[in-house]
Structure 1
Amino acid sequence: MSGIDSLPPLRDVIETYGIAAKKALGQNFLLDLNLTAKIARQAGDLTECDVLEVGPGPGGLTRGLLAEGARRVLAIEKDPRCIPALDQIAAAYPGRLQVILGDALEVDPLAHLTPPIRVAANLPYNVGTELLIRWLTPPAWPPFWDSLTLMFQREVAERIVAQPGGKAYGRLALLAQWRCDARIVLHLPPEAFSPPPKVSSAVVHLTALPAPRYPADPKVLEQVIAMAFNQRRKMMRAACKGLVPDLEDHLIAAGIKPTDRAETVGLEQFCALARSVKAAR
């Protein structure tokens, strides 16, 4: 036997190494290997790819990624208790799993990865959104990754794929959809995890576009979006007041009514406004 067949069940691994999930680390472990394999498959054909995994815990998704044929997996884990369990997986897949003990917000993974690179992770709840925003807003585009296959709380997943007109629509949807195709590919109930979280979860798959969907300066676009949604109940002419002189003229030129609210304004209109603002500065 080799690989996944030779490894003990995850519940046994957790008991052996004393890896009870810690709330402070945002841990909720997914122990059903059929589910972790299903998530790994959402990342596509991995045989020619290196995969970055953040927060592997006892290694359920790690096993799935390797079993699905990932060329190499780089797993960044903050909890030292999980390292022996991950080392056990590395031994079952010689040369294909590298484990780094550290904080994913501080570790530079690029020194350890060879393109093409995909990211697949059951992200710790407490850093998931911050990591996503970092991956969506690199200094240059296209980014180091080809795709992201990420587990989030369902509410966050819905914010990533949201369309104009609803409460879920906001900064996260615009940042994601400006540069990516984003879709929810899997829903998971609380009872799929140990311990069960209080909320449902969902897996989002984001594919990087070669270039942003519409032209805009990233910093100006982010400023416009931030101002618009920081006071989302206000009309655009009030929410974005001070952004540029003659703001109403810029709004109208971008196809936005000054009385519109941010949640009704589409991505193309925000990009047009960002271009108009930049040209006026």
Structure 2
Amino acid sequence: MSTSIDGLPPLRDVIERHGLQAKKALGQNFLLDLNLTGKVARAAGDLTGVTVIEVGPGPGGLTRALLMHGAKKVIAIERDERCLAALAEVSDHYPGRLEVVSGDALKTDFASLAAGEPVKIVANLPYNIGTELLVRWLTVETWPPFYQSLTLMFQREVAERIVAKPTSSAFGRLGVLAGWRTDARIAFDVPPQAFTPPPKVTSSVIHLEPRREPLAADVKVLGRVTEAAFGQRRKMLRQSLKSMGGEKLLQAVGIDPTRRAETLSVEEFVALAKAV
């Protein structure tokens, strides 16, 4: 049996041996190139002494890269039980450094997973839950949050929405939340052929670092304001924000009621949330 750069069998062999064909229903696209998974791990910065939380490890390509690049420990959350045997082999190769949690990431209390340890979240997120998880991580009540950074893979189009700035067509709720609480940037793109099966679109790895002191705002109210404003993005704000006070609310914070949501800055959204 051939081995890879980390002394474990090549991922293609692992997938074949364990019958791990990617399931569309689980949003799975496996990244098999260990040079690429290594690049993702490096994008997360220095992992020494850090507990890394990974969502959707699949056959363990990125998991192996994170351990190889010095993560003190990886906690991997996987709901596809077919992958557990393959991950157990990785765990045996790195004794005491990989903890696999069998379960649904959407039902996981991430903050309690590595209580008190320095944490980074690094993941090739399943396509169907990626955005929802990011919004949850951006809107945690306690700030600074339990994690030092987020290094995540998304479809390129979603990544562009996360880093978008006001007035761009990609600017929306994700751009407001990410821009309000983090410094977000696209680290690099990953072509479709790097995955098995290849998705129809290019993916991007995005790196987000929490701002120590973002502008003060009630996170739930800000979420409601952005949802209402961008829910009818073609309409003027006096119309889309009607349920929250419309014209009166906008005038109270000195915003022209005829403007549209994508022209507002993060600061203006925060001012609206405060006024609500």
Q: TM-score range by the shorter chain?
A: over 0.9
Q: Does 1:32 align with 2:33?
A: yes
Alignment of 1:60-209 (within 5 A): 60-113=61-114, 114-209=116-211
AA in 2 matched with 1:164: P
Percentage identity across aligned positions? 61
CA contact (8 A) 1:4 1:63 kept: no
User: How many angstroms apart in 2 are the aligned matches of 1:104 and 1:223?
Assistant: 24
AA in 1 matched with 2:149: S
User: How many angstroms apart in 2 are the aligned matches of 1:84 and 1:193?
Assistant: 21
CA-to-partner distance for each residue in 1:217-244, whole Å, 9 max, x for gaps? 2222222111111111000111111312
Please name the residue that 1:270 is paired with: 269
- Please list every run of at least 4 consecutive aligned residues from structure 1 whose deviation after the TM superposition is greater than 4 angstroms: none
User: How many angstroms apart in 2 are the aligned matches of 1:4 and 1:67?
Assistant: 9
Structure 1 residues 73 and 188: CA distance shift in structure 2, 3 A: same
Q: CA RMSD in A?
A: 1.6
User: How many angstroms apart in 1 are the aligned matches of 2:57 and 2:5?
Assistant: 15
CA contact (8 A) 1:4 1:67 kept: no
Please name the residue that 2:241 is paired with: 240
Could you tell me how far 1:253 is from its partner in structure 2?
A: 4.5
Please name the residue that 1:57 is paired with: 58
User: How many angstroms apart in 2 are the aligned matches of 1:242 and 1:77?
Assistant: 40
Aligned pairs, number:
273
Structure 1 residues 269 and 76: CA distance shift in structure 2, 3 A: same
CA-to-partner distance for each residue in 1:102-121, whole Å, 9 max, x for gaps? 11111224444142100000
User: How many angstroms apart in 2 are the aligned matches of 1:3 and 1:89?
Assistant: 12
TM-score, scaled relative to structure 1: 0.93
CA contact (8 A) 2:141 2:219 kept: no
TM-score, scaled relative to structure 2: 0.95
Structure 1 residues 215 and 110: CA distance shift in structure 2, 3 A: closer
Please name the residue that 2:223 is paired with: 222
User: How many angstroms apart in 1 are the aligned matches of 2:260 and 2:118?
Assistant: 40
AA in 2 matched with 1:201: S
Could you tell me how far 1:3 is from its partner in structure 2?
A: 9.9
CA-to-partner distance for each residue in 1:102-161, whole Å, 9 max, x for gaps? 111112244441421000000000110111111111122221111100000111111100
Is there any run of 5+ residues in structure 1 with no aligned partner, and where?
A: none
User: How many angstroms apart in 1 are the aligned matches of 2:254 and 2:66?
Assistant: 45
User: How many angstroms apart in 2 are the aligned matches of 1:66 and 1:144?
Assistant: 21
Is there any run of 5+ residues in structure 2 with no aligned partner, and where?
A: none
CA contact (8 A) 2:173 2:226 kept: yes
CA contact (8 A) 1:147 1:206 kept: yes
